[in-house]
Amino acid sequence: MDHFTYQDGILHAEHVPLPEIAASVGTPFYCYSAATLTRHYQVFAEAFREIPTLICFAVKANGNLAVLRTLARLGAGADTVSEGEIRKALAAGVPPQKIVFSGVGKTRGEMRFALKSGIGQFNVESPEELEILSEEAVAHGGKARVTIRVNPDVDAGSHDKISTGRKTDKFGVAWESVLPSSARARVLPGIRIVGVTCHIGSQLTKLEPFRAAFARIVHLVKELRAGGHTIEVLDLGGGLGIPYDSAKEIPPLPADYARMVLDQVQHLGCKLMLEPGRLIAGNAGILVARVVLTKRTPHRTFVIVDAGMNDLMRPSLYDAWHEILPVKEANGDASPVDVVGPVCETADVFGKQRLLPAMQPGDLLAFRSCGAYGASMASTYNARLLVPEVMAHGDAFHIIRARQSYEAMLASDSIPSWLE
């Protein structure tokens, strides 16, 4: 459930009419609903109330400070994959102990920053990384709290580009290397192994791959304990999908996911950690664009909007499907059109053969389910400005990131002296 609904024929974010926001900040813009974010977090957290659980929001899904603070206020921690994301989480008010640092390529500089910041946990993805982290932790004067991210060799059955748990994917310690790595970690002076973690992919719409991966992890925890390791943390990653196209995909409800997780892991007595990103933020945001013109050729009708693949990469990168709605509710005839952006790439397509009413220049369109991996993946390709982000809250809205300016864009390049 979200808070983007038609009221008197106009699409609103909570109680704010989208045309009002468009008039204030221009188009395109991202718009989030504070109530939807809050609701999604609470529904998920509630599903796990039976055992101590820390929910670390995956910052890469949406790193806006206002989004992070909304979640931090509710008790969320942060799953981060770079120094920049750690800095964002800290700036948003996430306590350092609730910050997890994941990723296959943490640099020494990033490790030092994380150690200095006192973050709660490093999810280590290779034996090589363990050695480096140990050195940095010793230099810092302590031990790093570490979980081993295991590659369970499970196919998430999601899109190829967002599956992460197969043995040929770059993520996690290979299954057969987990026990040797854990043994090695015991003699490394800068490492304290506290648990295991896995994350098998994103936008999973079935429970089975999770179940298969978690069963392997449970088995592993027992083996590690039998080997004398203290395993107190179980971090099961993120990945639960959302209904982008509710006619086609019905992902499991958080409550069903939680039941499956608890049935498998509760008896271990571990502290549970989860790292949802998309599930919390995905349907809490939309992208609003204005129609530039409708181009009719003998073969196709193209509705060309002022947002492009640089603003929302998912359709071009993952063939992702986003529902496209006219901001002014239409009852008339609809016909199939291709909704495309202005970027000079054939891949700059938001939707093919979508049924939409006749769109006039200046009309507004909304792309649903853009709160995760939307703004956070945006670029300035084609020298297009990063678009603003707005958060609606009741009948008010706040600009939580202003549109980039052309001055800032030009000022970030510099001309070498020999060209002056």
* Residue selected from 3, 98, 199, 368 as contacting ligand PLP according to rule CB under 6 A: 199
**Whether residue 270 lies in the annotated active site:** no
DSSP 344: S
| The pairing of beta strand 271-274 with beta strand 233-235 | parallel
- In the bound state with ligand PLP, the residue whose beta carbon lies nearer, of 276 and 315, is 276
β-sheet bridge partners, residue 326:
365
Q: Among 323, 316, 307, which Cα is nearest to 403's? A: 307
Scan residues 354-383 and list those touching ligand PLP (CB under 6 A).
372
Q: For ligand PLP, which stretch binds (CB under 6 A), given 205-213, 253-261, 262-270, 272-280?
A: 272-280
β-sheet bridge partners, residue 4:
13
Residues 42-81: x/- map of binding to ligand PLP (CB under 6 A)? ----------------x-xx-----------------x--
Q: Is 366:324 a contact under the CB 8 Å cutoff?
A: yes
Q: For ligand PLP, which stretch binds (CB under 6 A), given 24-32, 206-214, 235-243, 375-383?
A: 235-243
Rounded CA gap, 55 and 414, in Å? 42
Closest separation between CB of residue 209 and ligand PLP, Å? 12
Does 106 help bind ligand PLP (rule: CB under 6 A)?
Answer: no
Segment (H or E) for 334: strand 334-340
Give the burial class of 247: count Cβ atoms within 10 A of its Cβ; 0-12 exposed, 13-18 middle, 19 or more buried.
exposed
* Residue selected from 278, 314, 322, 384 as contacting ligand PLP according to rule CB under 6 A: 278
Closest separation between CB of residue 79 and ligand PLP, Å? 5
* Residue selected from 239, 251, 326, 341 as contacting ligand PLP according to rule CB under 6 A: 239
Q: For ligand PLP, which stretch binds (CB under 6 A), given 7-15, 245-253, 269-277, 404-412?
A: 269-277
Q: For ligand PLP, which stretch binds (CB under 6 A), given 90-98, 217-225, 275-283, 335-343?
A: 275-283
How many Cα atoms occupy the beta-carbon half-sphere of 138 within 13 Å? 11
- What are φ and ψ of residue 313, in 5° steps? -85, -20
Give the burial class of 200: count Cβ atoms within 10 A of its Cβ; 0-12 exposed, 13-18 middle, 19 or more buried.
buried
**Assigned token pair, 104:** 């296959």
> How many CB atoms are located within 10 Å of the residue 397 CB?
23
Rounded CA gap, 214 and 259, in Å? 13
Closest separation between CB of residue 179 and ligand PLP, Å? 22
Q: How many chain residues bind ligand PLP (CB under 6 A)?
A: 16
* Residue selected from 277, 285, 341, 388 as contacting ligand PLP according to rule CB under 6 A: 277
**Catalytic residue positions?**
344
Task: Give the binding site for ligand PLP (CB under 6 A).
Answer: 58, 60-61, 79, 102, 199, 202, 237-239, 275-279, 372
